[in-house]
Amino acid sequence: MQASSCPAADVKAWFAAAAAAIIASAALGQSYPSKPLRFIVADGAGGAADLRARQIGVKLAEFLGQPVVIDNRPGGSMMIAAEAAAKAAPDGYTLFMGNCITHSLNPLLFTRLPYRPDHDFVPVTMITAGPLILVVHAQVPARTLAELVEIGRTRPDQLHYAMIGRGSPIHLVMEQLKAVTGGQFLAVPYKSTGTMIQDLVGGHMPITLNYWSIVGTHIRSGKLRALGVAAARRLEVAPEIPTFAEAGVAGVEGGCWQGIFVPPGTPKPVVDRIYRETVRVLNVPEIRNQIIETGAEVGGNSPEEFAAMIRADQERSKKAAAVAGLSPE
């Protein structure tokens, strides 16, 4: 019989090293965190993403036993914040609130990014996902999405829609709607959501899409009329609004998601700890109900599921951008 090429001493040494690594990994997960965490947000103080991060951060700090400090980095199409997060030390002490813009849309709009969405971040879990709702001013004669599309076909020069920026979720959904239905709607770009909604409520602009947290109160007051949700299912907070598919327009969906990321190389036990504690936060009834009331879906998917969701969103965004004739600049 041929002698083994791996002496028993080497085998024992290998098992000892493996056991030591496992013990060290477990110890790391248990000792983390030992200092405050930084939560980078691509939004200014008081913005929607900032408020969500602070809501999550307060409970996350409680569960982790260390303060979570919000680091606002607005501007630059969210690239300033994304770059800072991508270059952070991979030690679990820097979290990043990424979203559909940082990971799906920016790569379609800019030839050069200071970060690589698929390489410079480790997905931890989705926080929320919110679909866009198509709304019209109350004086617009269309009471259904089909009626609005018909007006867009027969009187293409009469219907304008408000949007925030080329390649935004609003722009992509409306371009898909035009391609699928043949209805014509002219885009009017705005610099701020506040001004856009003010013009819509005032009757100066007939159409836009936005999130329930922005347009919900105006829908409830009767100043705006909701014609459809650009999602696979109805909103839990407003189940009376049909989906686009239910309203006769299949295959058109759009919105945005937010989620937590950490830099690549962050130890897996640390990633797992952040994931578990974030899920605990999202299951706090007060936080869960607040998210639902804003018309959003509550997250908490696993890192692997979150990564797969991002890839699917990137593919949908690429197809939507192609329909809209967008190319990076």
Residue 23 predicted with pLDDT over 70: no
pLDDT at 158: 83
Residues whose CB is less than 8 angstroms from the CB of residue 95 and which lie 6 or more positions away in sequence, other chains included? 37, 38, 39, 40, 68, 124, 260, 261, 262, 274
Tell me the pLDDT tens digit for each residue of 278-299: 999 999 999 999 999 999 999 9
Residue 26 predicted with pLDDT over 60: no
- What DSSP character marks residue 284? S
pLDDT at 156: 77
Show me where the domains of the chain are located: 29-130+256-324, 133-229
Residue 201 predicted with pLDDT over 60: yes
24, two tokens = 């060290």
- Alpha helix ranges (H) inside 65-144: 79-86, 100, 106-109
Q: Any idea what the Cα angle at residue 221 is, between residues 219 and 226, rounded to 5°?
A: 20
Examine residue 239 and say whether the peptide bond preceding it is cis (omega within 30 degrees of 0): no
Residue 20 predicted with pLDDT over 70: no
pLDDT at 55: 94
Query: In the predicted model, what is the mean pLDDT of the chain?
Result: 90
Mean pLDDT confidence for 230-253: 95
pLDDT at 191: 84
Tell me the pLDDT tens digit for each residue of 216-232: 999 999 999 999 999 99
Could you give the CA distance from residue 121 to residue 71 in angstroms, rounded to a whole number? 17
Percent of the chain topping pLDDT 70: 91
pLDDT at 13: 45
Residues whose CB is less than 8 angstroms from the CB of residue 204 and which lie 6 or more positions away in sequence, other chains included? none
pTM: predicted TM-score of the whole model, two decimal places: 0.84
Phi, psi of 249, deg, nearest 5: -120, 95
- CATH topology classification for 133-229: D-Maltodextrin-Binding Protein; domain 2 (3.40.190)
The better pLDDT of the pair 180, 6 is held by: 180
pLDDT at 21: 40
- CATH topology classification for 29-130+256-324: D-Maltodextrin-Binding Protein; domain 2 (3.40.190)
Could you give the CA distance from residue 221 to residue 228 in angstroms, rounded to a whole number? 17
Tell me the pLDDT tens digit for each residue of 108-164: 999 999 999 999 999 999 999 999 999 999 999 999 999 999 999 998 788 999 998
Intrachain domains 29-130+256-324 and 133-229 with the same fold: yes
